[in-house]
Amino acid sequence: MIAPSLAQSPVWGQCGGMGWSGPTTCVSGASCVFSNPYYSQCLPGAASSSPQPPRTTTSASSASSTAQTSSGTAGGASPTSTAIIGQPTGPGLNKVAKASGLLYFGSATDNSELTDQSYLAILDNTNEFGQLTPGNSMKWDATEPSQNSFSFAGGDAILNLAKANGQIIRAHNLVWYSQLPSWVTNGQWTNATLTAAMTNHITNVAGHYKGQVYCWDVVNEPFNDDGSFRTDVFYNTIGESYIATALRAARAADPNAKLYINDYNIEGPGAKSTAMINLVKNLKAQGVPIDGIGVQAHLIVGELPGNIQQNLEAFAALGVEVALTELDIRMTLPATDALLQQQQKDYQTVVAACKAVPQCIGITIWDYTDKYSWVPSTFSGQGAALPWDQNLGIKPAYNGILAGL
């Protein structure tokens, strides 16, 4: 049998776009259709046989968005970007991820963003996103701002949105050193009293969402980069055992939810990854419930750690799930075509590493658009970290994710 020509892209494959050096024609039964300046795609049965510009109408909102891009924004959209506002043509990231064997491809979101109808239209599209993570509204300061006084309105709003769409919720998070109300950080605690307060918090918050979420990030960011335990009110008062206590309380409160420990800078092998491996081994040896390791994957363009797949395999060998839970890949602004192309390659590398590990069950980007990225306000001079730009148009990174899947 003669192998198919490498000069043609398959159905759903890329066939054109800025910087594209691959095939520009499609296999029989598919045609190359323009999606945006960065991406043309082989679509089944499409009428056009060559990349065609989209038919769009100009509106006040799109003109305003274009002006924002040209004048420079915090999110760092490419100065040459003319990406189309709205959803890309094609099967969608979540649809491709599920076809590739993953449980979901998802996005973080936050309550204030849900009033943005253009943003919401993309977030609601289950072809793109099969899972949501509330970025802030299930954290301790939001859910128990004063002791034993609970507030669930923000978390409920995102949960209800996900339910209406048929999307999975990754619940985030129960115990973390940051975003704690002052009554926790400044309390005069003993081991016994803080253990009781922490257990009460987990019991009420996880209990409120019992049976409605896929998993909980039970303990978030317990390690320093050198692999030592982070010193915070929980570790300083209770010791390492606070982690086991939190996991047991979460299991009791929401028995069917998967229980994760979530951290950053554990994408590749190193002291912090080794510490996570040792912790999970110790928890399992004690009979403590632990179902997953969340690999946040806040990364930098052109600076990916080596051996990501090998590291995910080492986590999976512990008998737990693995997920990329907060993926973004930031760059030093301004964004250039060269940086955007490298970002596309980096997204492909990371996503492909997850896909190659059967126990890596899902990928979440930390919001999907530069418009709402946390990066510029946290890392001065950096941004443009996500696959959708400031104007909700797709970037080359989107195509890197597709290629990785």
Structure tokens given for 104: 């979901």
pLDDT at residue 34, as a whole number = 66
Residue 8 — very low, low, confident or very high, per pLDDT cuts 50/70/90?
Answer: confident
Structure tokens given for 261: 């420990």
Which of the residue ranges 3-7, 116-120, 393-397 would you say has the lowest mean pLDDT? Answer: 3-7
Strands 131-134 and 14-16: unpaired
Condensed to tens digits (0 to 9), the pLDDT of residues 349-373 reads 999 999 999 999 999 999 999 999 9
d(CA 263, CA 278): 14
d(CA 121, CA 13): 24
d(CA 176, CA 174): 7
Q: Is 240 an annotated catalytic residue?
A: no
| Helices 241-253, 271-285: crossing angle, 10 deg rounding | 60
Q: Phi and psi dihedrals of 233, rounded to 5? A: -60, -35
Q: What is the mean pLDDT of residues 247-258?
A: 98
Structure tokens given for 3: 């192998």
Q: 201 exposed, middle or buried (CB, 10 Å; 0-12, 13-18, 19+)?
A: buried
> Of 153, 70, 31, which Cα lies nearest the Cα of 335?
70
Residue 56, Ramachandran bin (φ over 0: left; ψ between -120 and 50: alpha; else beta): beta
Q: Which residues have C-beta within 8 Å of that of residue 5, sequence separation ≥ 6?
A: none
d(CA 272, CA 48): 51
Residue 394 — very low, low, confident or very high, per pLDDT cuts 50/70/90?
Answer: very high
Residue 11 — very low, low, confident or very high, per pLDDT cuts 50/70/90?
Answer: low
- The percent of residues above 70 in pLDDT, for the chain, comes to 82
Q: What is the mean pLDDT of residues 125-145?
A: 98
- The percent of residues above 90 in pLDDT, for the chain, comes to 78
pLDDT at residue 41, as a whole number = 67
Annotated catalytic residue, options 128, 267, 321, 326: 326
pLDDT at residue 16, as a whole number = 74
d(CA 173, CA 171): 6
Q: Which residues have C-beta within 8 Å of that of residue 210, sequence separation ≥ 6?
A: 253, 254, 255, 257
Four-residue CA torsion sign, 251, 256, 262, 266:
positive
| Partners of 388 in the β-ladder | 369, 394
d(CA 344, CA 327): 13
Annotated catalytic residue, options 128, 221, 267, 321: 221
Residue 159 identity (one-letter amino acid): L
Structure tokens given for 216: 């909980």
CA 149 to chain centre: 30
Q: What is the mean pLDDT of residues 181-193?
A: 98
Structure tokens given for 81: 């970007």
pLDDT at residue 376, as a whole number = 98
Condensed to tens digits (0 to 9), the pLDDT of residues 199-240 reads 999 999 999 999 999 999 999 999 999 999 999 999 999 999
d(CA 302, CA 180): 34
The reported pTM is: 0.82
| Partners of 262 in the β-ladder | 220, 294
Strands 321-332 and 382-383: antiparallel
Q: Is 326 an annotated catalytic residue?
A: yes
363-373-68 Cα angle (round to 5): 130
| Partners of 365 in the β-ladder | 107, 327
> Of 238, 228, 218, which Cα lies nearest the Cα of 279?
228
d(CA 80, CA 187): 52
Q: pLDDT at residue 243 above 60?
A: yes
Condensed to tens digits (0 to 9), the pLDDT of residues 26-57 reads 878 778 876 555 556 666 664 333 333 332 22
